[in-house]
Amino acid sequence: MIDPAIQLLLSLGFSLLFIVAGIHKLSNRLRFQGIVDAYEIVPTSLVPVLVVVIAVIETLLGAGWLISNSVLVPLCSAVLLNTYILAISINLFRGRTYIDCGCGFSAFAGKQDNDGGIQQLSLGLVGRNYILVALTLLATLPTAERVLGSVDYFGIALGLVCTLLIYSAANQLLTNHNAIGAWRNVSG
């Protein structure tokens, strides 16, 4: 059993993650198309359609986390995240670590033309996505019966802010790790 406060925190967190990611991909379709094409997993002719499909699926999953109590939403989220893990792992196996993962939000900061802030493929991204998969699967547990109070909602709000800060910090650390690695390769 999972506490309803934890369930609500997971739902809000994944809703925010998927809605922002989906909207980001839809609003930057050409850039995201270039990223998906760089993975070299699907034929180039299918990439424009795949880009829209991925963005729509992410947006729908985000909405699903908000409005549905179905176990299907966390399970579909886990499948999507595992698909990303597979795509990243294939390219890591190929030695293609220089590719932008497509999951960063540098365009929101006005850095879309600056490739210095991209998140390149790494085992860290695979690990982060496995953690996200574990959290989606945690949300499939049955929810305990209890009424949430005002203290619970305050805790959920603080938890959501903390989760957002931790997720952003982890993404920044992954980006910094890539930049430091690039500096070492140039100067070494």
pLDDT of residue 100: 87
Question: For 40-56, what is each residue's pLDDT tens digit?
Answer: 999 999 999 999 999 99
What single-letter DSSP state applies at residue 71? T
**Confidence band of 175 (pLDDT split at 50, 70, 90):** confident
Distance between CA atoms of 27 and 2, rounded to whole angstroms? Answer: 36
Beta bridge partners of 143: 2
Rounded Cα distance, 79 and 74, in Å: 9
> The tokens of 62 are what?
């985000």
Q: What is the DSSP letter of 143?
A: B
Lowest-pLDDT range of 82-91, 112-121, 147-156: 112-121
Asked if pLDDT for residue 114 goes beyond 50, the answer is no
- CA dist., res. 135 & res. 126, Å (int): 14
Enter the pTM of the model.
Answer: 0.86
Q: What three-state secondary structure class fits 45?
A: helix
CB 103 within 8 A of CB 119: yes
**Are 29 and 55 in contact, with CB atoms under 8 Å apart?**
yes
- The per-residue pLDDT of the chain, averaged, comes to 88
Name beta bridge partners: 100. Answer: 120
